[in-house]
Amino acid sequence: MTATASTVRATGLYRRLQNESRAAAADPVELVTMLYDELETAVGVLEAMVRQGQRISATEPAHRARAILIGLDVNLDHDKGGDVAAALSRVYRSMRRKLDDAVAANSADALAELLEGIQTISAAWRQLR
């Protein structure tokens, strides 16, 4: 069954409402976990789009992934986080550059590599629970 544009929009709206509800009750660790989930989804969608032969520059998933990486970086607490926050900031900036390069090159392999890095950091973050 092929999804129609209206089905995709409805599914996206439903997902956003679920996430907003989840975010309202979440603690800071859970909020960052949600951002990692969204980042993984966005980069995974981009990779799938490229593998299907689509151009991904100026697409919603590309903008979303970049915005999440920026949000993760600018919301680091450098006073409390010290060296860890500084290291994460460097990682997020590097990931943003890799995302920009992968989108510009329309490279599924570069996106897969980026996704692997995101999943590694996400898994480490989840161990904080």
Domain topology for 28-126:
Four Helix Bundle (Hemerythrin (Met), subunit A) (1.20.120)
The structural domains of the chain, with segments of one domain joined by +, span 28-126
- What's the predicted TM-score (pTM) here? 0.81
Mean pLDDT for the chain overall = 86
Mean pLDDT of 36-56: 95
Query: Following DSSP, what letter does each residue of the chain receive, concatenated?
Result: -PPPHHHHHHHHHHHHHHHHHHHHT--HHHHHHHHHHHHHHHHHHHHHHHHTT---TT-HHHHHHHHHHHHHHHT--HHHHHHHHHHHHHHHHHHHHHHHHHHHHT-HHHHHHHHHHHHHHHHHHHTT-
64-111 pLDDT tens trace: 999 999 999 999 999 999 999 999 999 999 999 999 999 999 999 999
